[in-house]
Amino acid sequence: MKSLNTDQHGHLQNRQDWNQQVAQQLADTDHIILTDDHWALIRAVQDLFDETGDTPPMRLLIKVLRQRLDPAIDSRHLYRLYPDGPVRLASKHAGLPKPKHCM
């Protein structure tokens, strides 16, 4: 297991350190097994971050996921993937900073 340089919340300090293996390692620390649905969410969060320079709030994330992936996606779907906080954990596993709007 590679030693990761993270902040006090477990988010990578340097996004350039991110890759799929690192994402899996971060997910392992949260006891999450990444599925195809997790990876789609991770990629969407990364894309939104690249487009806006910030992690998306839940409502914007759902709107974008509905447009890009599946019109049926809702907050329940995201909470099934990440029961302890979809935006925070998806951002963490995507190698992004802790969202400003998350506790």
Instruction: For tokens 């939104």, name the residue.
Output: 48
- Catalytic residue, chosen from 22, 64, 69, 102, is 102
- Region label for 31, one of left (φ > 0), alpha (ψ between -120 and 50) or beta (otherwise): left
Residue 16 class from Cβ within 10 Å (0-12 exposed, 13-18 middle, 19+ buried)?
exposed
- Consecutive H or E run containing 49: helix 36-52
Please say if 56 is a catalytic residue.
no
So which residues are the catalytic ones?
A: 102
